[in-house]
Structure 1
Amino acid sequence: MAFDAAFLDELRNRTPLASLIGRRNKLVRSGRNWKTCCPFHGEKTPSFYVYDDHFHCFGCGAHGDAISFVMQSDGRSFPEAVEQLAAEAGLEVPKQDPRSEARAREVKSLGDVLSLVQASYRRRLFLPEGREGLAYLRGRGLSDATIERFGLGWSGDGRHLVEELRAHDVTPEMLVQAGILRVDDRGQPKGELFFNRVTFPIRDRRGKLISFGARTLGDGQPKYLNGPETALFSKRRTLYNLDLAREAVHKGAELVVVEGYMDVIALDQAGFGGAVAPLGTALGEEQLDLLWRMTPSPILCLDGDAAGARAALRVCEVALSLLSPERTLRFCRLDPKDDPDSLIRTRGVAAMKEALSGATSLATELFGLMTGGMVDPGPDQRAALREKLVALSKLIPDRALASEYRSTFLDMFFARFRRGGGSKKPFQKKGAPLPLSTQAPGEMRHIEQGSVERLNILTAMLLRYPDILPEVEQAYSSLALPVDLDRIRSALLDWSCQDEDLTEENCHRWIEAHGLTDIVAAVTESPMPREVGLGKDRDEVLKIDVVESWWHFYGLVNFRNFEREVANDIQATIMQVYSGGGGGDSSFPESLLARMRVLEALRRGEDVEEEG
């Protein structure tokens, strides 16, 4: 029973070999690949290696792909193995009829047609008519060996290919099906798609020719042109230079995704053999899967301009729903004036190597993209940003990994936007002391030493009554704290984003899981401000006694900021009422009234410690 070759290739692409073999055998990492004890012969030392598209046992010599693994391990015939894998991959096995057999012959013939076209393009590059194209390639610094390695060519003026290939029984209709000729409105052959262009053959992962890309040397548009979708070629399912890059990555090269043909070729010539590029489309799920089959952590090397940032953001958002502990992305962002080709030509291989060595994680890249241009965002912007970051982490299907990303995002958020934590240094009057968290031992003023106990009380109240966190979170985030209190704050703010009730019991469980029990024990020895809630309803306690007590201690250690924040909120509420945005309610919200009462009490003469 014969199967369409294109269907079998699609089946293999949709069947991750490591996942298939890992169902029955415990796989362990071996560099970029996997290994285990051979399932086909008894052994104590693993010699069975699993690559992205095949397996090989160095003990017994067993070798094959996903289909042959099922055949050998389950004793199934080839058709039975194909049907089993197709069902698992959600593919429908094509029925065997004369039409499918004819299509298989067509695919083979299209490959033959493309090979003849490639031979013509290659020959033309070294004829007088290809002089301009050859000069362009050499002017870009490509050696003759590189031109040969990548099969670069010249399409000619677009008027002779049909006649040239007619001697090989190639018809215009076949050239249309291969994506070489254009068609008119009636679907009739119209003319060559590539003319007066340098040509770049596009191959699949096995090195078979499937289409072409081309670059014009004049002012024509588009500058770069890819062949159309055909029975052989699908832009979203392949990458330029996939075959050569796979070979290089297997030998230890970094897998690097760049934006264009010339970037790939320049990197390869400079010794970075694992370079690939998308074919005129943004990276999609299927292309990311191709990358992860080769390595768990490919590098995306994008231009540093606005277009590069947009491309990076699109890739991040697509990748989040596909991440797992075994596969992620790294990002290498170049200066806006550079791309890999220009960087290598102007500053050399060492500069490119340095740029790749500085590749950042997906989390760091995404946070930078989301906060780009933010210098001093207001509370509404910070709240929206934090909500977006948490929402992005929830796109990750693996719950443990999603939790780690959420924690990382929030750590970066609070480190950047907490007072004194961002790249923009807060204004300090000349001679003013450093914040508590940055002063050297022995440099604290007496008044600040007294405030540490009050900061302990603030923290202890949140540990005991964590459901007030949402109401005081913004102010709590802005405080400068000693190291231990800062660690507790980071844990509390991270926990408050989890999908669970903000109860004292859940809080203590979180603290224990993060190894902070001893630190918290020292903090909670601080006396509570007073017994709160005697004879009162729990909700009333939280709204009045606990919240007001918290704001009281916040005002004591941070009075000037507290006074300014309350004044700003009063003004904002008044403006909202007068502008008609208050929904007809002219009263202040209870949360603001509580802070106003605390502020008035502090102004009446209770102990106040001013910052600075």
Structure 2
Amino acid sequence: MAFPPHFLEEIKARVGLSDLVGRRTKLTKKGREYSGLCPFHNEKSPSFTVNEEKGFYHCFGCGAHGDHVEFVKQTEGVSFPEAIERLADLAGLQMPAQDPHEKQQQQKSATLHEVMDLAAKWFSAQLSSQAGTAARAYLERRKVSDQAVSQFGIGFAPSARTALKEALLARGVTENLMMEAGLIIQPDDGRPSYDRFRDRLMFPIGDRQGRVIAFGGRALGDAPAKYLNSPDTPLFHKGHILYNMASARRKAFDAGNVIVAEGYMDVIALAEAGFEQAVAPLGTAVTEDQLRILWKMAPEPIMCLDGDAAGWRAAQRASERALPLLMPGKSLRFALLPEGVDPDDLIKSEGPRAMADILNKALPLSELLWKKELEGHAVKTPEQKAAFERSLMSLCDQMEDQTVRDYYIKHFKDRLWRWSREQSFQQKGSYSAGKKPERFGRFANQKNKFGKNQVAETPIAKSTKMGRREELLLITVVNHPEILESYFDEFAAIQLFSADLDRLHNAIIEIATSESDLDYDRMKHHLTKRSLFSVVEKFSKDTSGSLDWFAEKEAALEDATQGWLHLVARYERVKLEQDLKVAQKNLEQDVTRENLDRLKLAQKALQEAEGNEADLDGFGVASGRNTGF
């Protein structure tokens, strides 16, 4: 059977070619392509490449070449329909039912594309005509360049009731085709049909190949609706398409990100300022299908929203829509503009650099969710705080991916604990006049000296024997509390299974959040008050002649810090190695795309952690030692 083109395009949009090929051979990303050993012939050095952007693979050794369908046919020995069926299953799509009029429908789709192309060219010509004077003046006021007008195919629909209809009739297009393309409207009372778009600036909307499938029109005069989009047609379903999608998809590969603006003019302004990877939904909140399209372009699309109440609501709706779809490595970020400002305004008034600063400071999804829930809750009483925590946990319940959900629960619980402590100290007025408030907040904002290699937020499994290393992670900090001034977040993220060590760890965090200028004597005093210094003595040993000497209070702070950072890096490595084993086991038991993604992320994290232990050059010199670590 023949398959509708839009169905084949949807399969390719949902199933990444590199993911598909990666099920058969290990691929490594190099620039804009992936490379690996060819799955079609035996070779020792890679000659096989996958171009995700262009949608094909090629082997320079044996000449194998093709797309998604060809790869399944060749590797699984199936026919074309069977290959489509297997790809549809991977994409989560139902196979289209056989239709005796299918060929006729495909021919009609091809004809509709021709009609839309004719309409786009006619609108473009009208912008240059005498009738388009006011439209050109509007574009000039908005500082839209001639290059942008040409690049985005901007046109003009005259105010005459049937101008487009008559122009297309003269070119042999029937009223039925115009109706099916959404270009004209047929009144129910039998009156003659008329143009849908009149006295509007016209923005062609393209599909994944860039073919015009719909239009958006901005009113230039008085109109009930400022913006008007084409209705759903055989070519166009607004929840499945993004404005500027075809062009932005190519640019996103180069930029490493994709920007989601609110409207046509924002996308055009961003593109003119150098941000050509910008797209926009079509008058609605971002849909699930649009999110999947965005994640094909970049792992964390940036939602660039107007700085007003409507922009904040749009951010909230996008965050809620994304929750069930989150996967490891797939999320959203939110660039919230100043109040009353949109991207076009900001770029025109302050330039591209100001826009880049906003994008670079985009909030992660977790931060936006926290702000969203905090905004809607009073949090003074224990009951109100409990309600706030429940609302955060209810967000986690909506996340279908177990790994993502677990990390979010841990993140929110950690943040709730820190936030509650901060609130408690503020309410009690426990700070002296000369002491800075919000001590914990100061620690939290310290520059992270680990970069990407922070201590993992999930505990290492009980079966992992950290032994002396766990004890030293705490003993070093007890003897040298100054370490916390720079590395509090790394220390707080450590998870311990020994009950004694865990109590000691929590106590040190509590002391550090409420006390400043800590040294050994003050730390000992506070731990003794909590009857916990005996735990320190229990785990402290005479290590003057061993490799643990840096943990002693006599060691120089510089050496203690270096030794402690080395332990933290090794702690992280153990956790990453465990994550990799779990991911490998999950993939062996259940070969799914999600499990494959988890394995890739675990492998990447472990590779990035290679060689990240603390630099131990000169270690011990500050303490008067020449011993290596």
Q: Distance in 2 between matches of 1:511 and 1:26?
A: 44
Q: Distance in 1 between matches of 2:154 and 2:506?
A: 65
Moved more, 187-196 or 55-64: 55-64
Q: CA deviation at 1:15?
A: 2.9
Partner of 2:55: 54
> Which among 158, 165, 188 is matched to residue 162 of structure 1?
165
Q: Distance in 1 between matches of 2:109 and 2:313?
A: 37
Q: 1:79-111: per-residue Cα shift (whole Å, max 9, x none)?
A: 221233234445444455541111101111111
Q: One-letter code of the match for 1:349?
A: P
Q: One-letter code of the match for 2:300?
A: S
Partner of 1:321: 324
Within-5 A mapping of 1:469-480: none
Q: CA deviation at 1:13?
A: 3.0
Change in 2 beyond 3 A, CA 1:266/1:7: same
Change in 2 beyond 3 A, CA 1:149/1:433: closer
Q: Distance in 1 between matches of 2:431 and 2:418?
A: 22
Whether the 8 Å contact between 1:16 and 1:52 is mirrored in structure 2 is no
Q: CA deviation at 1:487?
A: 8.7
What is the Cα-based RMSD across aligned positions, in Å? 3.7
Partner of 1:175: 178
Partner of 2:69: 67
Q: CA deviation at 1:421?
A: 7.5
Q: Distance in 2 between matches of 1:180 and 1:21?
A: 42
Q: 1:340-393: per-residue Cα shift (whole Å, max 9, x none)?
A: 101000111110111111112111111112213768633222111111112212
> Which among 223, 226, 251 is matched to residue 226 of structure 2?
223
User: Are positions 1:245 and 2:248 aligned together?
Assistant: yes
Q: 1:270-298: per-residue Cα shift (whole Å, max 9, x none)?
A: 11010000001111111000000111111
Structure 2 stretches lacking a partner, 5+ long = 443-482, 510-523, 536-629
Q: Distance in 2 between matches of 1:128 and 1:426?
A: 73
Q: One-letter code of the match for 2:184?
A: L
Partner of 1:7: 7
Whether the 8 Å contact between 2:135 and 2:201 is mirrored in structure 1 is yes
Q: Distance in 1 between matches of 2:148 and 2:203?
A: 12
Q: 1:203-227: per-residue Cα shift (whole Å, max 9, x none)?
A: 0111111100000012312101110
Q: CA deviation at 1:317?
A: 1.5
Whether the 8 Å contact between 2:295 and 2:330 is mirrored in structure 1 is yes
Q: One-letter code of the match for 1:12?
A: K
Q: 1:278-335: per-residue Cα shift (whole Å, max 9, x none)?
A: 0011111110000001111111111222211211111112212111122111111101
> Which among 407, 411, 431 is matched to residue 410 of structure 2?
407
Partner of 2:123: 121
Q: One-letter code of the match for 1:49?
A: V
Q: CA deviation at 1:429?
A: 8.3
Partner of 1:610: none
Q: CA deviation at 1:39?
A: 2.0
Q: One-letter code of the match for 1:22?
A: G
Within-5 A mapping of 1:109-148: 109-148=111-150
SS in 2 for 1:418: helix
Q: Distance in 1 between matches of 2:72 and 2:371?
A: 45
SS in 2 for 1:335: strand
Partner of 2:333: 330
Q: Distance in 2 between matches of 1:10 and 1:267?
A: 27
Partner of 1:197: 200
Highest Rg: 1 or 2?
1
Q: One-letter code of the match for 2:84?
A: V
Whether the 8 Å contact between 1:437 and 1:483 is mirrored in structure 2 is no
Query: What is the aligned residue count?
Result: 472
Q: Distance in 1 between matches of 2:101 and 2:236?
A: 20
Whether the 8 Å contact between 2:249 and 2:277 is mirrored in structure 1 is yes
Question: Structure 1 length normalisation: TM-score?
Answer: 0.69
Within-5 A mapping of 1:138-537: 138-157=140-159, 158-185=161-188, 190-252=193-255, 254-372=257-375, 377-420=380-423, 427=429, 431=433, 508=497, 525=532
SS in 2 for 1:231: coil
Q: CA deviation at 1:117?
A: 0.7
Q: Distance in 2 between matches of 1:407 and 1:141?
A: 48
Q: One-letter code of the match for 2:127?
A: L
SS in 2 for 1:321: helix
Change in 2 beyond 3 A, CA 1:515/1:277: farther
Q: One-letter code of the match for 1:199?
A: M
SS in 2 for 1:281: coil
Q: One-letter code of the match for 2:243?
A: Y
Whether the 8 Å contact between 1:52 and 1:294 is mirrored in structure 2 is no
SS in 1 for 2:101: helix
| Aligned-residue identity in percent | 38
Partner of 1:81: 83
Q: Distance in 1 between matches of 2:321 and 2:428?
A: 36
SS in 2 for 1:333: strand
Q: Distance in 2 between matches of 1:242 and 1:526?
A: 62
Q: One-letter code of the match for 1:70?
A: V
Change in 2 beyond 3 A, CA 1:293/1:436: closer
Partner of 2:20: 20
Q: Distance in 1 between matches of 2:441 and 2:410?
A: 27
